[in-house]
């Protein structure tokens, strides 16, 4: 682990906390999270948070392979006197902090995995890691900010552990592997953690998570209900009748049928779904069929993705796709098979919980209403089990030329967002446990 002098962390902390901390309005109830003691504990832990983030960034690991990161997390939680369970869904780590007083259970979640991306950012702690992914040699980088998520939650765990005697209830810290998806042929992520009994013995009353985004520093964005889209994949096999390309009437052309199916799928989202209720996306990402210019092939295969922000519309779109694919293929004398593989569900923010916790976030940053987005997030599985709230932390670099989207090889975040994240996670946990 590289050494970072404390003066670096404190300097960043001072700059960041000066920016986002907003004095509670007269309509906001005071809470333990408003105390000078909490702010001092956050101030004290920030040099470590920065060091953890940089260390994890420099040593990224892909989904189901986060062994080093999990070890770092586990050792830290144990040192804090927190009950620790490891090896859940391969490399997942769960910490249980039982407060001195009775109360509800709140869960805080961070994802630990990196992406198969070669980093293109000039940092002293940039990743140089390469590995094999799905049979290919790839670079590995935290191009989505999960290094920050992990460090933020490690910091919140230290703050809350130091407040154990004041906590009314229990805090569950979920450090999750494989949010970006498991390697081919493997299970992983939130669904696997739940399958292996994450909530079986201790079920939270609420679960919270955050994600850094290239948004304005000092802001948090959140919305009720559908926040991030469901993500399903599909394959379509179109069968025709092979024949000579110069005499297409002697066969059935699956390439033409496949082309008509692609257009037909777009009319589902543009003409059959009420777009005033929810956004929807059907995208075909690949079409494969045929070998020669003068041979009409027997089969064509397509693969694609489906994104929805409403669970009921998601179900109806699946039905519309089945009808569209089959009818178009049959109208041309061919046949088609559609196979939809369910992926992540809609990330749904419980409206009552979100409204309740809004004042807590407003103590920390300038809170804005998030626009719905069509990427997916497997936090959704937790929010299917218990009320959940997922929010976005503005972490854009100060130089506009350095702002790139998540998953870009040039993605980078502003470390001044880290104390805002620690404060936000600490605040929602304490306020929820205190009944606010």
Is residue 280 within 8 Å of 288, Cβ to Cβ? no
Six token digits for residue 350: 């419980």
Using CB atoms within 10 Å of the CB of residue 129, give its burial: 0 to 12 exposed, 13 to 18 middle, 19+ buried.
Answer: middle
- CA separation for the pair 340, 243 (Å, rounded): 30
The residue annotated as part of the active site, out of 51, 61, 344, 348, is 344
Partners of residue 409 on adjacent β-strands: none
Residues near 291 by beta carbon (within 8 Å), at least 6 away in sequence: 297
Using CB atoms within 10 Å of the CB of residue 284, give its burial: 0 to 12 exposed, 13 to 18 middle, 19+ buried.
Answer: middle
> Strand 101-111 to strand 168-176: parallel, antiparallel, or no bridges (unpaired)?
parallel
The alpha carbon of residue 371 and the mean position of all alpha carbons in its chain are separated, in whole angstroms, by 16
The single-letter DSSP state of residue 82 is: -
Q: What values do phi and psi take at 181, rounded to 5?
A: 110, 145
Active-site annotation holds for 344: yes
Query: DSSP string of 393-404?
Result: EE---SSGGG--
Residues near 290 by beta carbon (within 8 Å), at least 6 away in sequence: 255, 296, 297, 300
Nearest in space to 141 (alpha carbons), one of 59, 208, 63, 65: 59
- CA separation for the pair 63, 232 (Å, rounded): 19
Query: DSSP string of 152-167?
Result: HHHHHHHHHHTTGGG-
Active-site annotation holds for 377: no
Residues 155-164: b if buried by 16+ CB within 10 A, e if exposed: bbbbbbbbbb
- CA separation for the pair 429, 423 (Å, rounded): 10
The residue annotated as part of the active site, out of 66, 179, 180, 415, is 415
Q: What values do phi and psi take at 5, rounded to 5?
A: -55, 145
Active-site residue list: 344, 415
């Amino acid at each position: 682990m590289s050494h970072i002098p404390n003066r670096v962390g404190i300097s960043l902390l001072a700059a960041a906390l000066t920016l986002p901390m907003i004095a509670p309005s007269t309509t906001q109830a005071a809470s333990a999270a408003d105390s000078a003691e909490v702010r001092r504990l956050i101030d004290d832990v920030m040099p470590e948070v920065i060091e953890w983030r940089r260390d994890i960034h420099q040593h990224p690991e892909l989904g189901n392979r986060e062994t080093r990161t999990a070890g770092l997390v586990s050792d830290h939680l144990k040192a804090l006197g927190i009950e620790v369970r490891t090896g859940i869904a391969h490399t997942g780590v769960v910490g249980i902090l039982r407060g001195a007083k009775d109360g509800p259970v709140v869960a805080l979640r961070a994802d630990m995995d990196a992406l198969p991306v070669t980093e293109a950012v000039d940092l002293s702690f940039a990743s140089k890691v390469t590995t094999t992914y799905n049979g290919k040699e790839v670079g590995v980088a935290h191009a989505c900010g999960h290094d920050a998520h992990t460090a933020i939650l490690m910091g919140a765990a230290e703050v809350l552990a130091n407040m154990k005697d004041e906590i009314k209830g229990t805090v569950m810290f979920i450090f999750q592997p494989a949010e970006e998806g498991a390697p081919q042929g493997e299970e992983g992520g939130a669904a696997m953690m739940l399958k292996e009994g994450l909530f079986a013995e201790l079920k939270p009353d609420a679960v919270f998570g955050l994600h850094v985004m290239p948004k304005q520093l000092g802001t948090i964005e959140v919305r009720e209900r559908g926040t991030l889209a469901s993500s399903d994949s599909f394959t379509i096999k179109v069968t025709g009748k092979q024949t000579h390309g110069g005499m297409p009437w002697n066969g059935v052309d699956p390439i033409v049928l496949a082309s008509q199916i692609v257009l037909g799928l777009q009319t589902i989202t543009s003409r059959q779904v009420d777009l005033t209720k929810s956004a929807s996306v059907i995208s075909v990402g690949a079409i494969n069929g045929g070998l020669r210019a003068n041979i009409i092939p027997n089969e064509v295969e397509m693969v694609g993705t489906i994104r929805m922000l409403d669970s009921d519309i998601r179900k109806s779109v699946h039905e519309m796709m089945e009808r569209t694919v089959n009818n178009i293929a049959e109208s041309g004398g061919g046949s088609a098979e559609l196979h939809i593989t369910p992926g992540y569900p809609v990330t749904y923010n419980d409206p009552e919980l979100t409204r309740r916790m809004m004042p807590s976030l407003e103590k920390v940053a300038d809170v804005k209403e998030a626009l719905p987005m069509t990427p997916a997030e497997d936090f959704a599985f937790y929010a299917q089990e218990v009320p959940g709230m997922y929010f976005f932390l503005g972490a854009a670099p100060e130089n506009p030329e350095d702002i790139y989207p998540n998953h870009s090889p040039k993605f980078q975040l502003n470390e001044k967002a880290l104390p805002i994240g620690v404060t936000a996670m600490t605040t929602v946990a304490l306020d929820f446990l205190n009944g606010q």
